[in-house]
Amino acid sequence: MNSILDTKTFDYERYEWRRDKTHNSRFRRQPVGGELLTAVFNSTKNGYGNLFIGVYTSLMAPISTVDLLRHVRRAWISLRWDVPTIAAQIFHEQIDGRSSPSPWITYDVAQSAKEVESWAEETVKLRENVSELDTLRYEIGDSVLPPKDLVPQTFLYLVPFTPTTFGILLHTSHVPFDSAALKILMTKVFEHLSLYILDKGYSDKQAAKLHWGEEHRNILPAVTQILRKHEPAKLDVNGEMVVPELPEEPRDGPAYAETLENAMAGPNTRVHVFKTFIDPPYDPSATNPKPRRAAHTFTLEESNRIIAATRTADVEKFTVNHLLHAALCLVSIIDNQPSPGSDAAIFNLGVVDARKRLESAFRHSEGYPVFCVGYSPLVTPVSVVTSLPPGTDTKSKILALVRELRNQYKAQAALPALLAVGAEQMERMVATPAPPWLGPIYSGDGRAGDYLRESYPKDGPNSVISITEFFFGVKVLDPAPVFRTAEWKGRIMLSADYNELAVEKKVVEGWMMLWAELILSVTG
């Protein structure tokens, strides 16, 4: 097999949850794919990758802070039963033949309801007199989760604003979760919270359901254990296809080898980077990073114009994601003008929500609230822009980049084993320490409403809780920001997470302003 590792002997069993031989109430498995990458980054780069999701809400009726805190902790406990991974921990162990300790994801089975209540008191924190969730995110952002082995790594902060409005900030390690998973967790915890507020009998119903000591049966399997099998097309009574055939996501074979080769391909030319960083460069060995976040949200009218531009432009149909990514590429080209004839390229490890590549039981909107990401490179030559005739307008430059990226995204989506190859791909990648990244990092989250519901509870005539706004953040150490996009309630949102010790706030805000202007230039 033309594979980096021999998949015939590749050990997938280490990704299965097993009871620890030395700790009977503990289950553990090794992190797989992106989990491994984030585990290594977390332990070697000052918590690089720690995640945040902040949610602003309104209540149907006033509630005291004391009662709200009690209900939030109960909802958090109910969520632990549904998704025990929120109480998972990290453990490192020296394995023969390895140069450094290997990480394990662990879960300790609860011994009693009282123990779970103590866990909830430790991991759900009340923060009063805070006006903005992003202020709290900045305050706690330089901490490392987890700070050591076998301690909690997922925390929920309750921030009351008024008797009818409050915020929730979830702060966690990236190892067990991705951005979609955090949205699903929020949907689940707000569903429980709304029912605790609405239904006086809900507490007793939950108490009868939560048999602590048995919750390990709800731990979700690693992606390698639930990859999609071949699913034949489904036909209606007239023989018309209603659900298309879905291919297998293979763990070996020629299609797997082809995907792995593509996923491991590095840039074969010089990587184009930003140039406007703090000098001298940030030294992570001397100072912990200070993660900050910049954001821009388009108005509903502007967002509608952006969406319309993707459907009416004089090119083959493209997506909003193609446009947003293309405009970001142009930001980096403007910041660091390539020389004429440059063969440099903008390299991005394309991040893909890969839940559609799982078995059907895990593919629904709330079916897999843990890590499920595929990766493959997206390489955009700067010559796409520099080869255009002198005087080419901005819109034409962006559309040229759109065409290039559209083809790359199409090729990425066609890879037959994008999720399956993650185990081998990341084992190879973490074997060589990555240098500080200087080029644009892009992550398109798509429609947030696909995973984050707006109102709660799901069923019933009245909405007890409504989500008004949300944001997502990631702790960054390297000089290059992580640029992220999403759509919420019809509005397109841009953000950039960055280390303010590596790049100045005014520089990132300038990049954000330029990014937004370039996007809108296509709508004219």
Q: Is 252 in the same domain as 209?
A: no
Question: Is 105 in the same domain as 201?
Answer: yes
Residues 257 and 154 in one domain: no
Residue 433 amino acid letter: P
pLDDT tens-digit map of 26-47 = 999 999 999 999 999 999 888 9
For 441-495, the pLDDT digits (tens) are: 999 999 999 999 999 999 978 899 999 999 999 999 999 999 999 999 999 999 9
| pLDDT tens digits, 341-363 | 899 999 999 999 999 999 999 99
Neighbour tally for 139: CB within 10 Å: 11
Q: Is 33 among the domain residues?
A: yes
Lowest-confidence range among 93-97, 304-308, 342-346?
Answer: 93-97
Around Cβ 29, how many Cβ atoms within 10 Å?
Answer: 21
Q: Give the C-alpha separation, 258 to 417, whole Å.
A: 9
For range 410-435, the mean pLDDT: 94
- Is 467 inside a domain boundary? no
Whether residues 487 and 409 share a domain: the answer is yes
State how far the Cα of 33 lies from the Cα of 228, in Å rounded to an integer: 17
Q: With CA atoms as reference, report the closest residue to 324 among 379, 407, 401, 271.
A: 401
Residue 4's pLDDT is 44
Residue 287 lies in a domain: yes
Show the 3-state SS of 166-204.
Answer: EEEEEEECCCCCCHHHHHHHHHHHHHHHHHHHHCCCHHH
**Is residue 2 pLDDT above 70, yes or no?**
no
CATH assignment at residue 258: 3.30.559.30
Q: Which residues pair with 168 in a beta bridge?
A: 55, 158
pLDDT tops 80 at residue 226:
yes
What whole-number distance in Å separates Cα of residue 336 and Cα of residue 334?
5
Amino acid at 56: Y
pLDDT band at residue 8 under the 50/70/90 scheme = low
- Last residue in a domain, options 183, 205, 221: 221
Q: Clarify whether residues 291 and 176 are in a common domain.
A: no
> What 8-state DSSP symbol labels residue 315?
S
Residue 457 within a domain: no
CATH of the domain at 78: 3.30.559.10
Q: Does residue 235 lie in a domain region?
A: no
Supply angle C-alpha 497, 502, 504, rounded to 5.
75
In whole angstroms, how large is the CA radius of gyration of the chain? 23
Which one-letter amino acid corresponds to residue 388?
L
Residues 129 and 57 reside in one and the same domain? yes
- 505-521 and 320-335 helices cross at what angle (nearest 10)? 130
Considering the domain architecture, whether residues 285 and 178 belong to the same structural domain is answered as no
Per the CB < 8 A criterion, the answer to whether 196 and 74 are in contact is yes
Q: Of 241 and 160, which is predicted with more confidence?
A: 160
Residues 6+ apart with CB under 8 A from 448: 183, 470, 486, 487, 488
Q: Contacts by 248-252 with C-beta closer than 8 Å and gap 24+?
A: 249/357, 249/358, 249/416, 249/417, 249/419, 249/420, 250/416, 250/417, 250/420, 251/7, 251/12, 251/224, 251/227, 251/417, 251/420, 252/1, 252/7, 252/8
Contact 436, 479 (CB under 8 A): yes
pLDDT band at 269 (very low <50, low <70, confident <90, very high): confident
| Angstrom distances, CA of residue 90 to CA of 104, 150, 166, 169, 428 | 6, 6, 31, 22, 21
- Residue showing tokens 């100072």: 287
82/124 same-domain check: yes
Structural domain tally of the chain?
Answer: 2
The DSSP symbol for 121 reads H
Domain span at 36:
13-221
Q: Is 236 within a domain?
A: no
At residue 368, the pLDDT reads 99
β-partners of residue 105 are 29, 90
Residue type, 149: D
Looking at the fold, whether 54 and 169 belong to one and the same domain comes out as yes
CA nearest to 479, candidates 521, 436, 426, 432: 436
Is residue 199 domain-shared with residue 281, that is, in the same domain? no
Contacts of 77 (CB under 8 A, 6+ apart): 116, 117, 120, 206, 210
Are 432 and 484 in the same domain?
Answer: yes
Residues 367 and 316 in one domain: yes
